[in-house]
């Protein structure tokens, strides 16, 4: 049994295959004792806290710290009671250990397929004065070193209260010799890897954008020791399953212990809780690795690929697509799209995605969001006709929507000017000439559900790109009471999840890909509904090395949309070889986003080869284990590889960014993840190597001349 409870001293020991997480109830408070490599269970864990039992609460490592009774670090929660006070004292009441894992009402979360995969511990704490209680929930996955944490507030008192802060997890490490790893960026520069030392004081990362986890900071952080590398040392990961404003805080206190907390951003948030009501926080997925950052990532990949993503596409190979956005932007007609499909067929492409501009009166970004009916001036025969023609060419048909938005120049806005997020008597700030629909309102969501369903059920559509291109400003809802206006951003996210659940379950055979101006909402919350996300609007191969490498810290390659685009690249104007553009793109859900009808015969030949190669290797890429070998954040050479779980097959990707003068050729690349005793044949050659040679001495590399060069190696075991 992975969750042990020692009644004599109130110690809980959560033990998975390689990890232990231990805490103890002391004076009614859950006090943190240990998180790290697996320990045998014993009745003698108390010594881990000995000498501290009589310390003030400010020095005790805690599981869910409260505000106002002497702990001056960041609390995990705070409430405002009707008498004006902000003090509660939550003490242990009881606990339950349950088999399996239950879903979170209205929120995405990791799941199990059988009760034996996990055990869940619920610790109930109660504040007897207010009647408010908290259930701290810990799910331990038996075969992974993962704990999923969340918190549920239940109000059994008699007077309403307001929750001011309700984080999902808080962990107190006993020391502070750590570095923090996180992913920062901007639009077209998403998820750049950052690593820095922590010290006394606080470091926080957050989104205050309301409807997005953001391009700027991803809801993820890891703490590692200074000597932790890809393959060595401890790494502790925290990943929030939420798509709106979040906050992650690292606080080193005066006694050099470290508090890591994560959850919904308390900034501009409060939630009225009436007697009898509950409030559920999102889930934080905490991963432990004793084998470096690489193993932390692979744990997230396995869990998110198989126990967060859902639906028929979870385990299916993803189609190779062509998207018309960078090929035509808004300037297309039926003839052009059908021509792209015809060339697509010739090249082996499986799906055509019609992007922005097919609806209302949309010829640029100034109009029509919300009017989800076909643009007959552009597509006089309608969408069904176009989709059928694409199908006749042998390609599936996919369609772009931006369902959360409304253009002031739209019939929908003229009819329902109060349906957007806004504050009465204030300016409605536009961004990209658009406003945001008020998804906290059920009637608005209902309208959008019907508008989209109408198209999805009448046109043969196999794929939807769900885009979202601006954040919340002047946050307010026409239907919320004044006391609930600070709930609107979170209610928006709950409304989004509600609609996504409804749409994706009504159309289970449509593949949904999330998008937010590129990768502005690349988070686990979205992956629960849509198993892939457009990684970035930056399609330059060299920029993508960093973006995809950074994204892979948490997210499986099967979740990353990646497309070969034109040169000079539209975002950075770089000219890179088609081969390298293809090789970078293949480490993701592969596609093209350029005018393939304009390609030369030679280019078409290369593209055909790329497509047929990807068809052969995509199951290893989409379902194999990823090993990062060389980081674009550190070197001029970049490399990673995918290995099947049985270690029989591997695909190695090697990139050399810039040519260098007067250097010894880098002629060996040490691999990872292979079996040292297997013999591997290098496909396309007569050479074979022992696994130990490839792991410890390295794979021989051919010289690559010129900038932006790359090569793929395929290895297959002869055993
Ligand atoms: C932003 C997306 O990231 C792009 O791929 C494209 O779909 C445009 N929106 C269309 O407006």
**pLDDT tens digits, 615-668:** 999 999 999 999 999 999 999 999 999 999 999 999 999 999 999 988 776 689
| Rounded Cα–Cα distance for residues 34 and 555 (Å) | 27
Mean pLDDT across the chain: 97
Contact 459, 399 (CB under 8 A): yes
Tell me what the mean pLDDT of segment 322-341 comes to. 98
Counting residues of the chain whose pLDDT is more than 70, the rounded percentage is 99
pLDDT value at position 719? 84
Alpha carbon of 358 to ligand 1 centroid (Å)? 13
Best residue among 187, 331, 355, 433 to mutate for probing ligand 1, ranked by most atoms within 8 Å of CB? 355
Q: Which atom of ligand 1 is nearest to the CA of 518?
A: 3
The angle formed by the CA atoms of residues 487, 241 and 202, to the nearest 5 degrees, is 80
Alpha carbon of 329 to ligand 1 centroid (Å)? 9
Q: Which atom of ligand 1 is nearest to the CA of 355?
A: 7
Best residue among 329, 330, 356 to mutate for probing ligand 1, ranked by most atoms within 8 Å of CB? 356
Best residue among 212, 325, 404, 464 to mutate for probing ligand 1, ranked by most atoms within 8 Å of CB? 325
Alpha carbon of 66 to ligand 1 centroid (Å)? 43
Tell me what the mean pLDDT of segment 591-613 comes to. 98
The angle formed by the CA atoms of residues 213, 217 and 222, to the nearest 5 degrees, is 110
| Rounded Cα–Cα distance for residues 147 and 61 (Å) | 18
What pLDDT, in 10s, does the model give residues 435-458? 999 999 999 999 999 999 999 999
pLDDT higher than 60, residue 41: yes
> Which residue puts its alpha carbon closest to atom 1 of ligand 1?
517
Region of residue 657 (left: phi > 0; alpha: psi -120 to 50; beta: else): alpha
> Which residue puts its alpha carbon closest to atom 10 of ligand 1?
356
Q: What residues have CB less than 8 Å from 409, skipping those under 6 apart?
A: 366, 367, 368, 433
pLDDT value at position 665? 67
What pLDDT, in 10s, does the model give residues 694-716? 999 999 999 899 999 999 999 99
pLDDT value at position 1? 54
Contact 575, 518 (CB under 8 A): no
> Which residue puts its alpha carbon closest to atom 2 of ligand 1?
517
pLDDT higher than 90, residue 49: no
Q: What residues have CB less than 8 Å from 450, skipping those under 6 apart?
A: none
Query: CA 256: distance to chain centroid?
Result: 31
Task: Provide the token pair at 581.
Answer: 């553009």
What pLDDT, in 10s, does the model give residues 374-426? 999 999 999 999 999 999 999 999 999 999 999 999 999 999 999 999 999 99
What is the phi/psi pair of residue 535, to 5°?
-70, -35
Task: Provide the token pair at 245.
Answer: 């404003």
pLDDT higher than 80, residue 305: yes
pLDDT value at position 574? 98
> Which residue puts its alpha carbon closest to atom 11 of ligand 1?
356
What pLDDT, in 10s, does the model give residues 14-30? 999 999 999 999 999 99
Rounded CA Rg of the chain: 26
pLDDT value at position 364? 98
What pLDDT, in 10s, does the model give residues 64-102? 999 998 999 999 999 999 999 999 999 999 999 999 999
Contact 446, 485 (CB under 8 A): no
pLDDT value at position 662? 83
Catalytic residues: 467, 537
**CA-closest candidate to residue 401, choices 455, 350, 442, 327:** 455
Alpha carbon of 569 to ligand 1 centroid (Å)? 16
Alpha carbon of 466 to ligand 1 centroid (Å)? 10
pLDDT value at position 56? 84
pLDDT higher than 90, residue 54: no
pLDDT value at position 661? 87
Alpha carbon of 323 to ligand 1 centroid (Å)? 10
What pLDDT, in 10s, does the model give residues 660-690? 988 776 689 999 999 999 999 999 999 999 9
Q: How many CA atoms lie within 13 A of 409 on its CB side?
A: 10
pLDDT value at position 557? 98
Q: Which atom of ligand 1 is nearest to the CA of 365?
A: 11
> Which protein residues touch ligand 1 with a CB less than 6 Å away?
325, 355-356, 400, 467, 469, 515, 517-518, 534, 537
């Amino acid at each position: 049994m992975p969750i042990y409870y020692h009644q004599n001293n109130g110690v809980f020991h959560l033990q998975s295959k390689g990890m232990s997480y231990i805490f103890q109830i002391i004076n009614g408070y859950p006090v943190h004792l240990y998180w790290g490599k697996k320990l045998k269970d014993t009745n003698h864990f108390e010594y881990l806290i000995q000498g501290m039992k009589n310390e003030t609460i400010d020095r005790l490592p805690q599981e869910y710290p409260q505000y106002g009774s002497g702990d001056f670090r960041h609390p995990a929660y705070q409430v405002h009671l009707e008498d004006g006070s902000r003090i509660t004292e939550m003490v242990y009441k009881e606990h339950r250990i349950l088999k399996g894992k239950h879903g979170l009402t209205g929120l995405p979360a990791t799941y199990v397929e059988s009760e034996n995969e996990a055990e869940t511990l619920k610790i109930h704490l109660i504040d007897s004065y207010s009647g408010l209680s908290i259930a701290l929930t810990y799910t331990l996955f038996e075969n992974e070193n993962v704990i999923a944490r969340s918190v549920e507030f239940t109000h059994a008192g008699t007077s309403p209260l307001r929750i001011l802060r309700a984080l999902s997890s808080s962990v107190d490490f006993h020391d502070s010799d750590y570095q923090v790893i996180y992913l920062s960026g901007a639009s077209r520069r998403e998820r750049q890897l950052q690593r820095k030392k922590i010290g006394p004081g606080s470091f926080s990362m957050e989104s205050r954008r309301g409807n997005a986890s953001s391009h700027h900071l991803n809801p993820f952080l890891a703490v590692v020791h200074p000597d932790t590398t890809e393959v060595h040392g401890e790494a502790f990961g925290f990943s929030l399953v939420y798509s709106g404003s979040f906050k992650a805080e690292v606080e080193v206190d005066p006694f050099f212990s470290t508090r890591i907390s994560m959850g919904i951003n308390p900034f501009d948030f409060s939630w009225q809780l009436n007697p009898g009501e509950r409030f559920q926080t999102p889930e934080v997925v905490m991963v432990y690795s004793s084998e470096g950052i690489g193993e932390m990532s692979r744990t997230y990949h396995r869990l998110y690929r198989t126990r967060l993503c859902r639906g028929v596409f979870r385990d299916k190979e993803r189609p190779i697509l062509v998207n018309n956005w960078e090929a035509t932007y808004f300037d297309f007609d039926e003839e052009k799209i059908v021509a792209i499909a015809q060339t697509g067929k010739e090249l082996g492409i499986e799906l055509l995605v019609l992007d922005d501009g097919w609806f209302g009166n949309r010829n640029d970004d100034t109009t029509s969001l919300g009017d989800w009916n076909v643009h007959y001036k552009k597509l006089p025969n309608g969408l069904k006709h176009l989709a059928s023609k694409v199908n006749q060419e042998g390609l599936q048909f996919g369609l772009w929507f931006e369902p959360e938005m409304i253009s002031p120049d739209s019939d929908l806005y003229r009819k329902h000017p109060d349906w957007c997020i806004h504050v009465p008597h204030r300016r409605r700030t536009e961004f990209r000439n658009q406003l945001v629909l008020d998804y906290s309102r059920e009637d608005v969501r209902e309208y959008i559900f019907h508008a989209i369903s109408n198209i999805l059920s009448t046109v043969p559509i196999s794929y939807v790109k769900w885009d979202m291109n601006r954040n919340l400003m002047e946050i307010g809802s026409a239907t919320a009471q004044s006391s609930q206006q600070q709930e609107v951003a979170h209610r928006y996210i709950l409304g989004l999840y509600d609609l996504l659940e409804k749409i994706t379950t009504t159309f289970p055979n449509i593949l949904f890909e999330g998008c937010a101006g590129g990768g502005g909402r690349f988070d686990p919350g979205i992956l629960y509904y849509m198993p892939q996300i457009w990684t970035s609007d930056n399609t330059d191969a060299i920029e993508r090395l960093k973006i995809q490498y950074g994204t892979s810290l948490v997210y499986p390659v099967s979740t990353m949309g990646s497309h070969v685009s034109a040169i000079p690249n539209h975002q950075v104007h770089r000219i890179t070889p088609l081969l390298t553009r293809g090789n970078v793109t293949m480490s993701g859900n592969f596609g093209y986003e350029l005018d393939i009808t304009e390609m030369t015969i030679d280019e078409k030949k290369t593209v055909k080869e790329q497509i047929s190669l990807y068809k052969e290797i995509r199951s290893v890429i989409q379902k194999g284990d990823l090993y990062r070998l060389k980081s674009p954040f550190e070197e001029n050479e970049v490399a990673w590889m995918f290995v099947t779980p049985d270690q029989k097959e591997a695909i190695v990707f090697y990139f050399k960014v810039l040519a260098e003068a007067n250097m010894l050729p880098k002629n060996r690349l040490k691999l990872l993840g292979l079996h040292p005793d297997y013999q591997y044949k290098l496909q396309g050659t007569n050479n074979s190597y022992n696994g130990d040679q490839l792991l410890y001495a390295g794979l021989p590399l051919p010289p690559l001349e010129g900038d932006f060069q790359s090569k793929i190696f395929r290895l297959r075991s002869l055993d």
